[in-house]
Amino acid sequence: MWQLMMSQLAPRDKTGAYIRPNSSFRNFVGKAAENPFGPATGRYRLFVGKGCPWAHRTLVTRALKGLEDAVAVSVAFPGSGGMWELESEIFSCKTMPEIYQLAQPGYNGRSTVPVLWDDVKGAIVNNESSEIIVMLNSEFNEFARHPELDLYPDTLREKIDRWNEKIYHAVNNGVYRCGFAQTQAAYDVACSELFAVLDEIDRALSTNRYLCGNSVTLADVRLFTTLFRFDAVYYSLFKCSLRRIQDYQNLSGYLRDLYQLPGVAATCDLDAVKRDYYGNLFPLNPGGIVPAGPDLANFLLPHDR
C-alpha cells in the first residue's frame, strides 16, 4: 500500500530513486521586438504556494529587487487530491489545473507552482523557477526599487552556475530524493550526497559571506529556500537527519543573514511550510500531525557574518 501511494506521489526509477519531472512552459520575458512577452509593470503575476521552496525563490527575488508593485502575486495552497487550490478566485479559476487549462486547453501535464503569468495575453510565460528568477533579476529593472542590485552579474555567472548545478542535485532536489526514496539504497545515496555538499558549503562559507563572495546572488536565493525549511521539515519528515542546519557553524549564521536581508522575512511563512508538508504528504505522515517549533525567533538572532 505504501509503495502504491509513493508511486503516485513521486515518480521513481528502477532503483527506487525519485525523478523530478521537467517543467513544461519555458518562454522568457524580454525586450526583443519579436518577443510576445515584453517587460511591463502590472502585466505579470506570480502564482505561488507559500510552502513550496521553488515558488519561494521567486518571492525572495521579487522582494530583493523591489518588484512588489510591478509583479502581482496570487497564492495557492495544497487542496484535496494534492491539487493546488487558489486562495482567491481569479479569471474564473479556483485551482491551478484550471489556470493551466485556461492557458492551454487540453493540457494534461502537472499543474505546479510557481507560474509566471501574463494577465494581458492570458498565458503562462514560464513555470520553471530557476528561469523565472533570472527574468525577475534582469528584465524588470525599469520598474524595480532596487535596479542596482544584480543577483546574476556577468563576472560571477560561471561561479554561480557551478554552485547552482551542485546545489540543485544534492540539496534543493536532494532533500526530496531522501524523502521520496522508495528503497534503502536510493535513500543512502541521496543522504550521503546531501550532507557531503552541505559540509562543502559550510567550509566555503568560512571565508566568504555568501556563496560567491561578499554579495548575495541567485545561488544564495536558490539555496536559502531549502535551508529555511530544513530543520522544520526535511530533518524529520524527509529523514535528512544526520545534522540540522543550526548544527553547522557557518551555514546557521548564513541562513540567518539571508533571512534578515530587507524584505526576505516577509516572504517566509513557517506555519504554511509545516502545514503544507506535514498535512499533505500522507504516505510520509499518515496522521497529519503538524509538529510544534522550531521557534521563528531563532532566525532573528545575530548572524555574525
CB atoms within 10 A of CB 266: 11
Catalytic entry in 18, 44, 52, 178: 52
C-alpha grid cell, residue 221: 536565493
Q: Is 176 a catalytic residue?
A: yes
| Distance, CA of 13 to CA of 190 (rounded, Å) | 14
C-alpha grid cell, residue 117: 503569468
3-state secondary structure (DSSP) of residue 158: helix
The per-residue b/e assignment along 167-190, b for 16 or more CB within 10 angstroms, e otherwise, is bbebbbbbbbbbbbbbeeebbebb
Catalytic entry in 18, 176, 235, 259: 176
φ/ψ (deg, to 5) at 21: -65, 155
**DSSP string covering 1-63:** -HHHHHHHHS-B-TTS-B-PPPPS-B------TT-SS---SSSEEEEEETT-HHHHHHHHHHH
Three state DSSP letters for 231-275: HHHHCCCCCCCCCCHHHCHHHHHHHHHHHCCCCCHHHCCHHHHHH
- Are 131 and 26 contacting, i.e. CB atoms less than 8 angstroms apart? yes
φ/ψ (deg, to 5) at 9: -80, -40
Q: Is 168 a catalytic residue?
A: no
3-state secondary structure (DSSP) of residue 86: strand
Residues recognised as catalytic: 52, 176
